[in-house]
Amino acid sequence: MQKPEISVVLGSYNRKWLLKLAIQSVRDNGITVPYEIIVVDGGSTDGALEWLIKQRDILTIVQHNREIVDGEPRSKRSWGYFMNLGFKSAQGKYILMISDDCILHAGAVMAGYRLMEESGPAVAACAFYFRNYPREQQYKVATTLGNRLFVNHGMFRREVAAEVGWLDEDRYWFYHADGDFALRMWERGYRVIDCPTALVEHYAGGGDAVRAVNIRVAQRNQDWSRYLERWTGIFYVREHPEAGGAQWLPRLADDQVARAFDRHGPRSLRRQVKRLAGWLRRCLPPQIVPYARWLKRSLARRAS
């Protein structure tokens, strides 16, 4: 069997509907080189695991990573540890890192792949442009300490990721491990570049509660202080504390791609139709079931 050129790695937990959209956007992306998909699941209980097991083109790693501490849900191990399970299992020349709440625009993967191939071994990674839908209208990449580009969503050379020691899973609990990962590549003389033709939709329409928990955990762990301490005198000078920011891509948003979030979300009309149809099947006499099926098809056409 031919080894993959690209390994798509993402973590997921209890976001089946988003995960399915992310995976479909990979499958439909027009990838013309051998690739693999690796999902690290934190022990989902919403049916995502059962769905993943049936997907013959996905390598699923299950690591039950949730516990309750002081009445608050949190991860047992850091985000870096969680993602490294997938990174270290990857066999591709390149690792594509996205989130389970992302949709890739068509052609994004090959755009990143071609850019990395053309750029040569001095380039360790390329950042894909993304926006937080529906809050933002333009796509962006971001810089971190020393105004060095880092990767929120994008592609790494696997051999460089291994050379720098993968994600730091001990220093950071959740945030800043990705920035640290890129800075260690810069420190070794590699470059991180951007790929303006690789676009990603990141769903910001939900998950605020989970995000708030992650922020509180990161604050308790002092992730930001640890980050500054690690890079003081290298990419961070206390007298000049510029920490970078977003670089915006002057391109109008393509809402046609992002609308998949609206069509398939938990509050979408399509989901409500499916729930109604299920209720009808359970409650109505058998002779009315054909009418219920017709009603479902009719409502689904209006919802699409």
Sign of CA dihedral 83, 85, 207, 278: positive
pTM of the model: 0.84
Element (H, E) at 66: strand 66-69
Where along the chain do its domains lie?
6-254, 268-303
pLDDT mean over 203-218:
62
Q: Which fold has domain 6-254?
A: Spore Coat Polysaccharide Biosynthesis Protein SpsA; Chain A (3.90.550)
What are the DSSP calls for 170-230, one per residue?
TT-SSTTHHHHHHHHHHHTT-EEEEEEEEEEEEE-SS-HHHHHHHHHHHHHTTHHHHHHHH
pLDDT tens, position by position, 120-163: 999 999 999 999 999 999 999 999 999 999 999 999 999 999 99
pLDDT, tens digit (0-9, with 9 covering 90-100), for 88-130? 999 999 999 999 999 999 999 999 999 999 999 999 999 999 9
For residue range 173-188, what is the model confidence (pLDDT) as tens digits? 888 999 999 999 999 9
In this model, does residue 292 exceed pLDDT 70? no
Tell me how far apart the alpha carbons of residues 292 and 286 are, in angstroms, rounded to a whole number: 10
Name which residue leads in pLDDT, 219 or 256. 256
